[in-house]
Structure 1
Amino acid sequence: MNKKMQIQLYFFLFSILSFLRADTFYVPGDFTSIQTAINAASNTDSILVWPGLYEETLDFDGKEIVV
């Protein structure tokens, strides 16, 4: 295996492993507001929001998360 293939393989494995450690937060449940869940979340985490009216201004602060 050449050097370029090794680097690509390491990058691929790192991407998968970082995705596998993603957490899921629930609003309401773990948090009472969407913004507090966003503040606690790290990149690749997910936030599940139950149906309801949430009157908030959201700031993702550049995080790569799924809401």
Structure 2
Amino acid sequence: MDQIYFAALHKAGAYKHLMNEEDIENLKWLKVFNKYDLYSKSKVRIDVEKVKPYYLSLIEKYFPAKLRW
């Protein structure tokens, strides 16, 4: 479901009226990383358990243990 909302944002510009300056800056990165999006570029179903260790390692490397919202 999230993919639908993000696609609407970065493909059609929806929800921009809800964005602050930081969101607008981050949108640039969303567009850069969009070409690496595994979920919308292939008709082959992703084996979640197979790719899970990879994504967990990225989360561990790049996200702090405690997030500040």
- Which structure has the larger Rg? 1
| Bin for the TM-score computed over the shorter chain | under 0.3
Structure (1 or 2) with the greater helix fraction: 2
TM, length-normalised to structure 2:
0.25
Structure (1 or 2) with the greater strand fraction: 1
Ranked by relative contact order (alpha carbons within 8 Å, sequence separation 6 or more), the top structure is: 1
